[in-house]
Amino acid sequence: MKHERILITGAGGQLGTVLTVELQKKYGADNVIASDLRLNPDFVGHFEVLDATDFEALKSVVLKYKITQIFHLVAILSANGEKFPLNTWDINMKSLFNVLEVSRLHGINKVFYPSSIAVFGEDVEKDNTPQNPNLTPLTVYGMSKVAGENWASYYHKRYGLDVRSLRYPGVIGYQSMPGGGTTDYAVDIYHKAVKNESFECFLEASTHLPMIFIDDAIRATIELMDAPAEEISVRTSYNLSGMSFAPQEVFDVIKKTIPNFEITYKPDFRQGIADSWPNSIDDTQAKKDWGWQPKYNLENMTEVMIEKLRIYYNNKLIA
């Protein structure tokens, strides 16, 4: 473990912010290099300003730090991606190709590639969506993730590159603001509640979607990457599940703690995206192969979200 040198691309995003800290704890801060298009002035550790679509720049960082693992988190997400579809495709795919190629050429031991429930389209079973359905996504983000899964499998079969992947459901965390995804209502709703503001939801009240708390998502990522290679049977991307709920359900749970909280519903274009996604996910293969088990449900996640965001906003008022 002490010999691993980790590069995280897209480290400033929702997942990257938290994953960087956990990997620093695991491998030591000197062995983790975070990178993104711009530096967060509050960041502690090694950081490189890096555009992952620039192959030579990526290669330079890999060689400079003698990188052995890459966690590639760069992506334009579902809702933002629909605003500029061609740009979304170019950035999502070019950055992935660069990571795969630099890894093949320079002896990277493992690559992590995040996929998403956005890979599923209207042709799948909505409840307990299986591991290997027909993937016909309706968004460019989803299309790029399906393509990425297949390229990950290709590089493993053709070149022996150890690429591992998870299909994340909506990730809910308190450490960063919403980042342009269709499931982001489930982050924003907690911010509004803690700030004693009403919340206008862009999805219908009964829209069930798979979700996962950030702590479970990060733990799943690290557990997958730690698993012995012979236990990894899925070389496209593993289904991953934490919980499933609708906006009205999370609202009802929040009101137990913040009884004056109010919500209205005004569905927009993101409703169509959500309607094409599963209600719940079957992640039996992840449980079988590397022992995945979620720890958080809607109730205990809500407790943590409200507690942490109250601390955050109280500190902002004090500052």
Choose the catalytic residue: 27, 141, 168, 174: 141
Alpha-carbon distance of 152 to 97, in angstroms, equals 10
- C-alpha 225/C-alpha 290 separation (Å) is 10
Q: Is 291 left (phi over 0), alpha (psi -120 to 50) or beta?
A: left
End-to-end CA distance of the chain: 40
Q: Among this protein's residues, is 141 annotated catalytic?
A: yes
CA distance 81 to 201: 20
CB–CB of 294/242 below 8 Å? yes
Alpha helices, DSSP H, located in 185-240: 185-194, 214-226
Give the C-alpha separation, 308 to 282, whole Å: 30
Distance CA 17, CA 220 (A): 16
Catalytic (active-site) positions: 141
